[in-house]
């Protein structure tokens, strides 16, 4: 069956133009349904829900007679949570205050994904650009679509969750089939295999991996997990979060031979953010994984070498070269090193919950988990931007989302736009002075004990899932002891590192230079950094100018 694109507009001339544009581009792959009333659109939404078709995209004009477009999209979201939703507005409607307010309100409350200007000429490429982007985003999450990889595992198995999270954060399209589902049984029958106690991964070309390691899975989707013949670089970057990827783009685009080493997933902690709405240049918002993948591709095109699923376990600092020791004991050298190792989530350290990680208890957030929580009561621990973004994303699917916040306000740790969105969302509630005391369940999370820190009283609540985003600690424990760190392990740079600086040098450390000359730190791992994606990207770009200065001075000293 062909997926459906649904249009609702009670203006006949506008509806005909939209039908004409969509038929020319999409009719062979999608069923185009145009309704001249909101009531007709509602009937179509119900028919699609009760039938075998999938709704890919619904676009509705705001000012229809019986129902506004925003109200129609709210109902569409309840019936078809995976579909993309957009308000149709007339070209030049920015001067209409009610329309502008409707657009802003619908975006803030999560009632739509974005707005679309109605086509006013043919072909209208701006209109088609928006439609194509919506369909691309929908296709990435479409259940049952053909994927590069398919994971078959028990729905609540911890290892299955880990593999899915790795694919999500590395931007690899994939499908997940529960072990007892008809889809899993059919696929296993097609490839001549039987169910396994551990997860099974089936590649697009029919290869079968039984309970693969993270490295084996990475090789299956084509990433480089071993150093090649080239072992010496101008700059080596440890970590592929926003700061590391930004540094890679600027370093390689400016002619530096660049190596990036990443132990886990492209994107770092930001890769788990379901939607970043305040990142410059993305008015519709962008997921952390999508932003990271774009940066990864950009750096790769400029010539950056990536070594993934390898951890840097040692750093030997020298006068002309620094040596990085990998977890497989291979070595690479570089004239300069940039540490962009980021941070890891702090854990609750509650035995009953740690045993259920991946089985209803999750550190961080991924869209694949959210889609499995329809009609579940979900809890999010944390009061920062990542926690707020997770709560908003989960509210698309869950029956209700409760945020558990230790403090008395969100204002000190969360952007205002997210606070407004959460306050306006009837499916999200916030409990202040709240902390997890215990939790458990047979095979998966079923309940949580929540303590009120102000009274000491605890209550027990049914829980379908728990997402934990409570801050982080920096990845610096592997560095030599001479690196200057604060009490939490964050690296001191610039004037903060002066006390540990080698006084035999005729200069002071540069802004992002650590206490080790030629070794720089950017992003969340650096003491005093602003924990925002944009600031990490900025630091990654600025540090390359300092690397150039260091390399130039080094060349002068060496007489080259």
Beta carbons within 8 Å of 184's beta carbon, 6+ residues apart: 152, 177, 178, 195
- Hey, do 232-344+473-557 and 351-470 end up sharing a CATH topology, with the first three levels equal? yes
Residue 468, judged by CB atoms within 10 A of its CB (0-12, 13-18, 19+), counts as buried
Triad 377, 200, 445: Cα angle to 5° = 20
Q: What is the reported pLDDT for 26?
A: 96
Q: What is the reported pLDDT for 480?
A: 95
Q: How far is CA 114 from CA 282, 286, 458, in A?
A: 11, 12, 41
Q: What is the reported pLDDT for 200?
A: 93
Tokens standing for 187? 């696929």
* Statement: residue 141 has pLDDT above 80: no
Per-residue pLDDT band at 108 (split at 50, 70, 90)? low
Q: What is the reported pLDDT for 444?
A: 82
Give the pairing of strands 55-61 and 84-89.
parallel
3-state SS, residue 288: helix
Q: What is the reported pLDDT for 146?
A: 54
What is the average per-residue pLDDT within 331-341?
A: 97
Percent above pLDDT 90 for the chain: 57
CB distance 402 to 378 below 8 Å: yes
* Statement: residue 368 has pLDDT above 70: no
Tell me the CATH architecture of domain 351-470.
Answer: 3-Layer(bba) Sandwich (3.50)
Q: What distance in Å separates the CA atoms of residue 536 and residue 547, rounded to the nearest whole number?
A: 16
The Cβ of residue 125 has, within 10 Å, a number of other Cβ atoms equal to: 10
Q: What distance in Å separates the CA atoms of residue 172 and residue 128, rounded to the nearest whole number?
A: 25
Q: What is the reported pLDDT for 386?
A: 83
Q: Which CATH class is domain 232-344+473-557?
A: alpha beta
* Statement: residue 532 has pLDDT above 70: yes
**269-318 pLDDT, tens digit each:** 777 666 777 788 888 888 888 899 899 999 999 999 999 999 999 999 99
Q: What is the reported pLDDT for 143?
A: 55
**29-76 pLDDT, tens digit each:** 999 999 999 999 999 999 999 888 899 999 999 999 989 999 999 999
| Reduced 3-state DSSP string for 406-460 | CCCCCCCCCCHHHHHHHHHCCCEEEEECEEEEEEECCCCCCEEEEEECCCCCEEE
**501-528 pLDDT, tens digit each:** 988 888 999 999 999 999 999 999 999 8
Tell me the CATH architecture of domain 149-220.
Answer: 3-Layer(aba) Sandwich (3.40)
Q: What is the reported pLDDT for 367?
A: 60
Per-residue pLDDT band at 366 (split at 50, 70, 90)? low
* Euclidean distance between the first and the last CA atom of the chain, given in angstroms as a whole number: 67
- Residue in the structure block whose two tokens are 């619908």: 106
DSSP state of 509: P
* Statement: residue 496 has pLDDT above 90: yes
Sequence ranges of the domains in the chain: 4-140, 149-220, 232-344+473-557, 351-470
Give the pairing of strands 149-153 and 174-178.
parallel
**340-364 pLDDT, tens digit each:** 999 887 888 888 888 887 778 888 7
Q: What is the reported pLDDT for 552?
A: 94
Q: What distance in Å separates the CA atoms of residue 39 and residue 45, rounded to the nearest whole number?
A: 10
Q: What is the reported pLDDT for 288?
A: 82
Q: What is the reported pLDDT for 544?
A: 98
**pLDDT-wise least confident of 80-89, 195-204, 447-456:** 195-204
* Statement: residue 191 has pLDDT above 60: yes
**217-238 pLDDT, tens digit each:** 988 888 888 998 899 999 999 9
* Statement: residue 153 has pLDDT above 80: yes
- Looking at 2.30.42.10, 3.40.50.2300, 2.60.120.10, 3.10.129.10, the CATH number of the domain 4-140 comes to 3.40.50.2300
Give the pairing of strands 322-326 and 458-462.
unpaired
**378-407 pLDDT, tens digit each:** 999 999 888 998 899 899 889 999 999 999
Q: How far is CA 327 from CA 20, 214, 225, 231, in A?
A: 58, 14, 11, 15
Q: What is the reported pLDDT for 371?
A: 66
What is the average per-residue pLDDT within 411-423?
A: 90
**When comparing pLDDT for 117 and 52, which is higher?**
117
Q: What distance in Å separates the CA atoms of residue 499 and residue 527, rounded to the nearest whole number?
A: 15
Q: What distance in Å separates the CA atoms of residue 277 and residue 287, rounded to the nearest whole number?
A: 9
**Mean pLDDT for the chain overall:** 89
What is the average per-residue pLDDT within 466-481?
A: 90
What is the average per-residue pLDDT within 485-511?
A: 93
Give the pairing of strands 258-262 and 232-238.
parallel
What is the average per-residue pLDDT within 122-146?
A: 84
**Which residues partner with 452 through β-bridges?**
434
């Amino acid at each position: 069956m062909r997926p459906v694109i649904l249009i609702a507009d009670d203006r006949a001339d506008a509806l005909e133009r939209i039908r004409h544009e969509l038929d020319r581009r999409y009719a062979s792959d999608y069923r185009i349904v145009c309704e001249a009333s909101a009531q007709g659109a509602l009937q179509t939404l119900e028919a699609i829900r009760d039938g075998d078709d999938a709704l890919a995209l619904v676009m509705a004009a705001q000012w229809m007679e019986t129902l506004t477009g925003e109200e129609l999209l709210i109902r569409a979201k309840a019936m078809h949570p995976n579909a993309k939703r957009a308000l149709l507005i007339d070209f030049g409607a920015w001067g209409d205050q009610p329309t502008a307010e409707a657009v802003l309100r619908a975006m803030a409350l999560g009632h739509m994904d974005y707005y679309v200007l109605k086509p006013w000429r043919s072909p209208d490429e701006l209109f088609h650009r928006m439609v194509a982007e919506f369909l691309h985003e929908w296709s990435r999450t479409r259940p049952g679509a053909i994927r590069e990889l398919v994971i078959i595992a028990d729905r609540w198995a911890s290892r299955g969750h880990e593999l899915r999270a790795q694919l999500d954060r590395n931007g690899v399209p994939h499908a997940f089939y529960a072990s007892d589902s008809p889809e899993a049984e059919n696929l296993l029958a097609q490839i001549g295999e039987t169910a396994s106690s551990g997860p099974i991964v089936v590649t697009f070309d029919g290869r079968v991996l039984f309970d693969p390691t993270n490295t084996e899975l990475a090789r299956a989707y084509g990433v480089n997990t071993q150093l090649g013949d080239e072992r010496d670089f101008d700059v080596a970057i440890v970590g592929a979060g926003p700061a590391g990827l930004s540094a890679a783009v600027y370093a390689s685009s400016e002619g530096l031979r660049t190596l990036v080493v990443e132990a886990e997933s492209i994107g770092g902690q930001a890769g788990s953010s379901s939607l970043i709405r305040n990142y410059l240049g993305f008015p519709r918002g962008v997921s952390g994984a999508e932003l990271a993948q774009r940066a990864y591709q950009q750096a790769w095109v400029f010539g950056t070498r990536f070594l993934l699923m390898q951890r840097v376990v040692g750093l030997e600092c020298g006068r002309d070269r620094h040596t990085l020791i990998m977890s497989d004991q291979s070595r690479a050298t570089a004239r300069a090193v940039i540490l962009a190792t980021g941070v890891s989530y702090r854990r609750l350290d509650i035995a009953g919950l740690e045993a259920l990680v991946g089985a209803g208890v999750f550190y961080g957030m991924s869209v694949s988990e959210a889609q499995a929580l329809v009609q579940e009561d979900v809890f999010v621990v944390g009061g920062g931007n990542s926690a707020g973004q997770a709560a908003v994303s989960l509210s698309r699917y869950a029956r209700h989302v409760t945020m558990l916040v230790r403090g008395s306000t969100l204002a000190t740790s969360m952007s205002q736009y997210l606070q407004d969105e959460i306050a306006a969302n009837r499916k999200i509630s916030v409990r202040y002075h709240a902390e997890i005391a215990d939790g458990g369940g047979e095979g998966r999370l079923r309940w949580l004990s929540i303590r009120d820190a102000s009274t000491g009283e605890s209550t027990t609540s049914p829980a379908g899932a728990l997402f934990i985003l409570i801050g982080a600690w920096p990845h610096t424990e592997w560095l030599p002891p001479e690196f200057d760190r604060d009490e939490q392990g964050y690296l001191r740079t610039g004037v903060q590192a002066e006390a540990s600086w080698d006084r035999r040098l005729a200069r002071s450390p540069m802004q992002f230079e650590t206490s080790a000359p030629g070794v720089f730190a950017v992003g969340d791992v650096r003491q005093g950094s602003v924990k925002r994606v944009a600031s990490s990207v900025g630091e990654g770009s600025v540090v390359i100018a300092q690397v150039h200065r260091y390399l130039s001075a080094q060349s002068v000293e060496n007489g080259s």
